[in-house]
Amino acid sequence: MAAFSYGLTALVAMVVMALFFNSFGMMIKRSLRKLYDGPGEAVTDVFALFIEHGTMILTPEILATLLIGGFAGGLITEFFGRRFS
C-alpha cells in the first residue's frame, strides 16, 4: 500500500509542478510580447493558465496513463527501497 502512496504523491507533485512551470513559461512569452498591462495581470494570468492547462489534461487517456505510471513508479521505488536498504 505504501508503494501506491509514494507513486500517487510523486504523480501529484510532478503534475502540479509541470503545470506551474509551463504556465509560468507561457506568461513570460506573453509578457515579452507586451500583452499585459502590468505585473499584477501577468501573475494573475499564471494561475488562469494553470487552470486552463489543468482542464486540458483531464481526459481519460491522460489520467489513466498518469495513474498507471505513478503506481508503477511507486512499485519500482518500493522494490528497490526494500532491496538496497
What pLDDT was estimated at residue 52?
Answer: 96
Dihedral sign of CA atoms 29, 34, 35, 41 in order = positive
Question: Which pTM does this prediction carry?
Answer: 0.83
Please write the tens of the pLDDT for every residue from 37-68: 999 999 999 999 999 999 999 999 999 999 99
What pLDDT was estimated at residue 15?
Answer: 95
List C-alpha distances in Å: 78 to 10, 43, 65. Answer: 13, 39, 20
Dihedral sign of CA atoms 8, 59, 35, 28 in order = positive
Q: What's the rounded mean pLDDT across residues 77-83?
A: 90
Q: What's the rounded mean pLDDT across residues 12-31?
A: 96
Question: Measured over all CA atoms, what is the biggest interatomic distance in the chain, rounded to whole angstroms?
Answer: 56
Please report, rounded to a whole number, the percentage of residues in the chain having pLDDT higher than 90: 84
What pLDDT was estimated at residue 39?
Answer: 92
